[in-house]
């Protein structure tokens, strides 16, 4: 009888704990829903005034040669900051879509060699402005996978852009490999690199390596977190190897078919 009492008491207290845990989880879910809606609403609300500021800023920027030098520089600053604001807003909207679970993958057979080549060409002038040689190492012909080309293009643009920005003018190599189950797109640079602590945070939202870099290189700190979401929604992997002073390698591995599984990666990360 004593044993039964103990069990009944235990069962009651477990029930009580389960109930309170459930209500806490619900509270948390409600909070995160409120937060998601807030980010999405704020981003939408900011778009309209920003468009007006953009138009006024463009007008001043176009006329800057007629202004006294200090005013001209202010017009340039305004122009650059409005552009940054627009990028930030676009990134925030994208993140809020992922948080709300409302991202639809528009997968179609895509030639990843062409996609990588287009990304390289699109960033060639940025690379040249930094004295960076941009190389593509890819098999000839077709290498098709079922992916959402817009999202994969965005990842490649982000990874190659980062490699150029942090590459200190050293060469950047973009490579494409494949096996039966997967395709890998790698971006290797020989620049600044990162410590292990930095690597652990590199996909965190708004995270950027040490403050001295924040001042010299402009960005939102959201690029890699969106790239990771883009990779994950494809059931793919986004991995990084990095070493201070030796550079970094980011590798995107994607299943060849939209519902496929990756058995192994087609190419190794640097040792």
How is residue 14 written in tokens? 């477990």
Q: Among residues 177 and 189, whose Cβ is nearest to ligand ADP?
A: 189
Q: How far is the CB of 136 from ligand ADP (least distance, A)?
A: 17
From the CB of residue 209, how many other CB atoms can be counted at a distance below 10 Å?
Answer: 20
Q: How far is the CB of 210 from ligand ADP (least distance, A)?
A: 8
Q: Among residues 52 and 129, whose Cβ is nearest to ligand ADP?
A: 129
In 3D, which of 77, 94, 83, 74 has the Cα closest to residue 50?
Answer: 83
Position with the least CB separation from ligand ADP: 219
Q: Among residues 183 and 202, whose Cβ is nearest to ligand ADP?
A: 202
Q: How far is the CB of 123 from ligand ADP (least distance, A)?
A: 13
In 3D, which of 51, 42, 87 has the Cα closest to residue 221?
Answer: 87
Could you list the residues that contact ligand ADP (CB under 6 A)?
Answer: 158, 162-163, 166, 189, 191-194, 202, 207-209, 213, 219-225, 248
Q: Among residues 159 and 183, whose Cβ is nearest to ligand ADP?
A: 159
In 3D, which of 247, 263, 95 has the Cα closest to residue 184?
Answer: 263
Q: How far is the CB of 205 from ligand ADP (least distance, A)?
A: 8
In 3D, which of 197, 218, 213, 130 has the Cα closest to residue 167?
Answer: 130
How is residue 256 written in tokens? 């060849």
């Amino acid at each position: 009888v004593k044993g039964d009492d103990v069990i009944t008491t235990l069962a009651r207290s477990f029930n009580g704990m389960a109930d309170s845990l459930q209500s806490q989880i619900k509270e948390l879910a409600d909070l995160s829903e409120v937060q998601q809606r807030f980010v999405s609403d704020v981003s939408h609300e900011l778009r309209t005034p920003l468009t007006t500021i953009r138009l006024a800023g463009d007008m001043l920027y176009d006329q800057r040669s007629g202004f006294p030098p200090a005013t001209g520089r202010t017009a340039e600053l305004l122009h650059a900051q409005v552009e940054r604001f627009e990028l930030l807003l676009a990134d925030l909207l994208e993140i809020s879509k992922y948080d709300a679970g409302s991202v639809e993958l528009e997968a179609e057979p895509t030639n990843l060699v062409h996609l990588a080549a287009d990304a390289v060409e699109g960033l060639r002038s940025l690379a040249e402005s930094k004295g960076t040689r941009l190389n593509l190492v890819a098999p000839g012909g077709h290498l098709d996978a079922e992916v959402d080309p817009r999202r994969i293009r965005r990842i490649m643009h982000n990874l190659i852009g980062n490699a150029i920005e942090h590459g200190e003018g050293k060469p950047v190599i973009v490579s494409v490999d494949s096996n039966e189950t997967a395709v890998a797109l790698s971006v290797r640079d020989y620049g600044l690199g990162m410590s292990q602590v930095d690597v652990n945070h590199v996909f965190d939202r708004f995270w950027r390596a040490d403050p001295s870099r924040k001042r010299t290189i402009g960005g939102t700190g959201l690029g890699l977190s969106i790239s990771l979401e883009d990779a994950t929604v494809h059931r793919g992997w986004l991995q990084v190897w990095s070493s201070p002073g030796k550079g970094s390698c980011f590798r995107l591995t994607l299943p060849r078919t939209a519902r496929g599984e990756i058995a192994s990666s087609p190419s190794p990360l640097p040792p």
